[in-house]
Amino acid sequence: MAKTEDTSEKEKNKNLKSAAKKGLKVMRKSKSKHPVRKGARIVKYGSSGFVRNIWLSSAATVVMAFTLIILFATVVASVILTNTADMMREKIDITIYLKPNTSEQRLGELTDVISEDSNIKSVETSTSEEEYEKFVAENADSEDIINVLDDEMKALMISKMQATMRVKVYDVDNLDSIKEIVETNSLFKKYVDPEKAPTYDVNQVEIATITSWARIARTGGIILAIIFLIVSVLIIFSTIRMAIFSRREEIYMMKLVGADKGFIRGPFLVEAEICGIVAGVVAATASYFFFMFLSPKLSNYGINVNTITEILESNKLILMYLVFMGIGIIVGRLSAWLAISKYLRKM
Amino acid sequence: MILVDSVTKKYPGDAKPALDSVSLHIEPNEFAFLVGKSGAGKSTFIKMITKEEIPDSGKIIVGGIDLDYVKKRHIPSYRRRLGVVFQDFKLLPRRTVYENVAFALEIAGMSGKEIRKTVPKVLELVDLLDQAKKFPSQLSGGQQQRVSIARSVARQPKILIADEPTANLDKLTTQEIIDLLKKINDFGTTILVSTHDESIVNTLQKRVITLADGKIVNDQKNNGIYKLDATPVPKESRTLQTPGHALKTKRKVM
């Protein structure tokens, strides 16, 4: 009798376990098979969440817009400074003064000698006669000067005016090799005018200043942009985290009624992405008008704003808007993802 | 429908376990009250059923699902099979009454057409159809709880768990909520209500399971009466504490 009862209990336990397994299978299969429908709902709730939480959304958007503007300003400053420095470096040439009446043939020979240095970009030479012609051309408007330039005066001036060699280099920081050629080469030693030294020494301070500007623009600009990007992400992350923190109860409720992680996280990501898009548009528009307002003033100071102006006045402006929105979306989404993950860890 | 076998749960740092070898079986279509003083283990018990907490030992089978085999990624899917009503309503504050109810159906992947058909029916059941466009903050406590009930029954779950559903409500509203739960039970839903309100337990005269110090001290099948200060331990209830008893029960698990 006891044996029969045992067998019947074992059978019931077996049935019970099999029923429990079947139930589990049904439950696992009950997962939603409509990703498009789910996606549409997430977008719907994300956008309505953005509107309904307008104060927090606005705060996050404003912070993001400001950081995007700062980022833009940093990049623009870096580009402007680099371009201006490059422009000024372009203008720099070293003038080597040669003895008056150095012939064109000698100038050619000297050019060949100095051109052997790899730092030489271009060499322009000018004989004493050509220098005189330049002088006349430069003073064509000045009757007092032109009137005194008779043949006698011309001959005198040509005999006194140095022939010149204007040298442009790739690297203004590294002029030692050129100096060495000018000072040690026998041909140069013979023809360089000892009364007037080459201008590399005269422009040394200016060259050093421009060089340091360029260095700041290149390295400092990149470092500054990276620092601002990190700070921006942290500020936006904190703002979005605060927004999500205030809604942690909502997340908990969603979990309890059976919403899966994607359905909970999705609307928050969409909200953050909308923040990013709005912030991108606002920041791009503000940056555009701000730059357009400032650029004539900067140009007056001899600052090269051409590259940025060209971008802003062409079809690339759309690209700029897209980049701003893209950064906004990426930063917003990343921040929201990190912030919400904390609350989703324990389901 | 709900089978709990020798379940023990002790929270870290606590001297006594919150649940101590608890065993019980709630049948399909049954209406049961889980009663006991604060700290008796009612909320822990409910949390075990909703899989917010995991028992240290023992087995729980709910609606034919062995919770031991419900992995983390399947918890949302499992919870969608239950209806859960909370003491503090747990409504989404930034969504309307309609959207709160619809949310439960949307997460289950129901089509828009089905949702538009179902939500008004459910709101009519809880007598809140005319409040559909309002936000929870614009409703009274009783109305909010009715929205919570509407949300929990919208998916037509076989089991509805209510954790202190009347704790924040006045007497009249409490009666309304209990009547509503009774109505849902009449439609065939198994209902487990945790409460410490003896008046509603004694009025309804249904099964009453009494918890004290994490143990079941009384289990009155029908016409159960609960007195907050007196919790006698009948002999027949003690037998339920035998480990493995519930698994060996003759009742079929749904």
Same domain assignment for residues A102 and A171: yes
CB contact under 8 A, A31 and B247: no
pLDDT tens digit sequence for B66-84: 888 888 888 888 998 899 9
Q: Would you say residue A12 lies in a domain?
A: no
**Which of A258-262's residues contact partners 24+ apart within 8 Å by CB, and which partners?**
A258/B76, A258/B77, A258/B78, A258/B79, A258/B80, A258/B81, A258/B82, A258/B104, A258/B107, A258/B108, A259/B76, A259/B103, A259/B107, A260/B76, A260/B77, A260/B107, A261/A344, A261/A347, A261/B76, A262/A38, A262/A42
Element (H, E) at A310: helix A306-312
pLDDT value for B221: 79
Which residue is it, tokens 């001036």? A157
CB atoms within 10 A of CB B39: 14
Same domain assignment for residues A130 and A83: no
Residue A178 β-bridge partners: none
Distance from CA of B225 to the nearest CA of A (A): 31
pLDDT value for B60: 92
Same domain assignment for residues A263 and A336: yes
Angle between helices A54-91 and A35-52 (to 10 degrees): 90
Which of A156, A176, A202 delimits the end of a domain?
A: A202
CB contact under 8 A, A347 and B107: no
ipTM tops the 0.90 cut: no
pLDDT tens digit sequence for B204-229: 888 999 999 999 988 887 665 666 55
CB contact under 8 A, B104 and A258: yes
Q: Which of A24, A44, A257, A260 to mutate to test the interface with B (most CBs of B within 10 A)?
A: A257
Which of A202, A230, A257 delimits the end of a domain?
A: A202
pLDDT tens digit sequence for A156-165: 888 888 899 8
Which of A202, A224, A259 delimits the end of a domain?
A: A202
- Domain coverage including residue A256: 35-88+209-344
Query: Counting beta carbons within 10 angstroms of the beta carbon of residue A196, is it exposed (0 to 12), middle (13 to 18) or buried (19 or more)?
Result: middle
Out of A13, A34, A256, the one facing B79 most closely (by C-beta) is: A256
pLDDT tens digit sequence for B14-44: 888 999 999 999 999 999 999 988 888 999 9
Distance from CA of A300 to the nearest CA of B (A): 54
CB contact under 8 A, A23 and B103: no
pLDDT value for A6: 62
Same domain assignment for residues A176 and A54: no
Looking at residue A194, which CATH number applies to its domain? 3.30.70
Q: Would you say residue A7 lies in a domain?
A: no
Q: Is the pLDDT of residue B237 over 50?
A: no
DSSP H helical segments within A30-53, as ranges?
A: 35-52
DSSP state of B40: S
B253 — pLDDT class (breaks 50, 70, 90): very low
Task: For residue A215, give both structure tokens.
Answer: 């260095």
Same domain assignment for residues A165 and A111: yes
pLDDT tens digit sequence for B184-198: 999 889 999 998 887
Number of domains in chain A: 2
Q: Would you say residue A308 lies in a domain?
A: yes
pLDDT value for A214: 67
In B, which residues are within 8 Å of A249 by CB distance? 90
* Domains assigned to chain B: 1-81+158-254 (3.40.50.300), 92-156 (no CATH)
Per-range mean pLDDT, top range of A57-71, A209-223, B138-152, B239-253: B138-152
Model confidence, pTM: 0.68
Q: Would you say residue A22 lies in a domain?
A: no
pLDDT value for B136: 94
Residue of A nearest to B91 (CA): A253
Which residues 227-266 of A have a C-beta within 8 angstroms of B? 249-250, 252-261, 263
